Structure 1
Amino acid sequence: MTRAAIASVVLMALAGSAGPANATGGIESLITDIDRQRLAAFDETRTRAIAVARARGAPADIAQLDEILDGDPVSFSGADLTGNWQCRITKLDGPAALVTYSWFRCRITESGAGLYLEKLTGSQRVTGHFFDDGDKRLIFLGAGHYSYEEPLPYPQNNERDEVAFAFLLDDGRLRLEFPAPHLESRFDIMELRR
């Protein structure tokens, strides 16, 4: 499938999104062109970053990545994502081929605009909203900030903008996958567990 065809599919999916997006005027009015492009290239970016991480990462780090990537996506229907979570970030295909950081605290709450994620601890944080994108996938739109700053709204139209696909896994974990983040790597994974 060509990049143009993939972009068209993603844009149609975004335009047809329901749920929390309706409370904010629709995801199509929020998402930036750059973030649309990042989602359109998701599969290609993910495949390349994982290949580089497996080729250049340390064996123990690769084993940990395999654990993070384990699990099959399940339906979000009826799932209660609200509450406190532990979360950690894994960065692939950056200055380091593969690095996984320690666990931090995250929280998901119900806001007037739908489900809202906050990374509460660590020097680099992110906040943002989830939007429906089918039965087994959500889109996350957020903005990064540092611990000494107030959270930023999406979009910032700069390197602070964060976009990801989110998957609920059969073991209860939540995994956000960020294609082509602006800083430090080609692909990030945020793993959340209770």
Structure 2
Amino acid sequence: MTIARLACAGLALVALGGCGGKDVGTSVRSVSEQAAAEPATGVQDWRAIATVADRQRLREWRTAWIAALQKARAGGAGAKIDADPALYAYDAALSDPVPPAGDYRCRTVKLGAKTAAGLDYVAYPFFRCRIASDENGVSLAKLTGSQRISGTIYPSDTSRAVFLGTIALGDERSAMRYGRDTTRDVAGWVERIGPQRWRLVQPYPAFESTLDVLELVPA
């Protein structure tokens, strides 16, 4: 799907899979039935949909990257970061940032703990994600895990797109509607970092870390 076709995307949330913890699973049918969908608004600019807090988080993405990497390196993860520069370098984005529709393997890496007791580098195993495309635009859903984000990918520029969505936790059956709870809202930049590799970079997430990086590769 081209960026031009994405310009009409409205917010359409679907229930997702999570980061770490027990794989609670979500069927294809339940994802459809539980979708916390916003009606198509015809608004072409993601800035008209994003909350004030999320616009601020997205603006500060570089500051979050630098702080998170510094903490992770200080915590002993330098070798892991250096071994995968495409995933961890903040300037690695390539053209055509939106993943094509299909099933993906996805994993979350959390960088820079929010508290002294937290871990500064946590890489979770791969779970299931899905990219879907319809008349409402392109959606990203993480289908398994204990932290399950869901939301819509909006066009931004030739190397980055914007993700706006929410997160469902534990055994919750559906995600909240975007904008209702700042602790559940998720905002990030979608970037292509290889021939068939993408990432969703989430600066200053509500829980645990300074930066979350969701890696996506075709299943």
Moved more, 86-95 or 155-164: 155-164
Equivalent residue in structure 2 for 1:92, among 73, 89, 111: 111
**Cα shift at 1:118:** 0.6
Structure 1 Cα separation of the partners of residues 99 and 184 of structure 2 = 28
User: For the aligned residues, what is the CA RMSD?
Assistant: 2.2
Contact in 2 for aligned 1:85/1:193 (Cα 8 Å): yes
Structure 1 unaligned spans of 5+: 1-17
Paired residues, number: 176
Higher relative contact order (CA 8 A, sep 6+): 2
Structure-2 residue corresponding to 1:69: 88
- The corresponding residue for 1:33 is 52
Does residue 122 of the first structure (1) align with residue 141 of the second (2)?
no
Q: Contact 2:8/2:42 (CA < 8 Å) preserved in 1?
A: no
1:39-69 alpha-carbon deviations (Å, 9 max, x no partner): 1111111111111111213455445554632
Q: 1:72 to 1:44 in 2, by over 3 A?
A: closer
Equivalent-residue separation in structure 1 for 2:83 and 2:108 (angstroms): 12
- 8 A Cα contact 1:24 1:113, kept in partner: no
Mapping of residues 31-180 of structure 1, within 5 Å: 31-58=50-77, 61-63=80-82, 66=85, 68-69=87-88, 72-76=92-96, 81-94=100-113, 95-149=118-172, 150-180=174-204
Mapped partners of 1:115, 1:134: distance in 2: 15
Greater shift after overlay, 145-154 or 37-46?
145-154
Residues 80 and 59 of structure 1: CA distance in aligned 2, closer, same or farther (over 3 Å): closer
2:41 corresponds in structure 1 to: 24
TM-score normalized by the length of structure 1? 0.81
**CA separation in 1, counterparts of 2:202 and 2:217?**
17
C-alpha distance 58-69 of structure 1, shift in aligned 2 (>3 A): closer
Q: What CA distance in whole angstroms lies between the structure 1 residues aligned with 2:120 and 2:193?
A: 25
2: CA distance between counterparts of 1:131 and 1:80?
Answer: 12
Q: Normalising by the residue count of structure 2, what TM-score does the alignment of the two structures yield?
A: 0.73
Q: Distance in 1 between matches of 2:125 and 2:99?
A: 25
- Note if contact 2:58-2:188 (Cα within 8 Å) is conserved in structure 1: yes
* Structure 1 contact 32–157 (Cα < 8 Å) conserved: no
Whose helix proportion is higher, 1 or 2? Answer: 1
List structure 1 runs of 4+ shifted beyond 3 angstroms.
20-25, 58-67
> Within 1, Cα distance between the matches of 2:166 and 2:101?
20
Q: Is the 8 A contact 2:166 2:185 kept in 1?
A: yes
TM superposition shift of 1:24 = 3.3
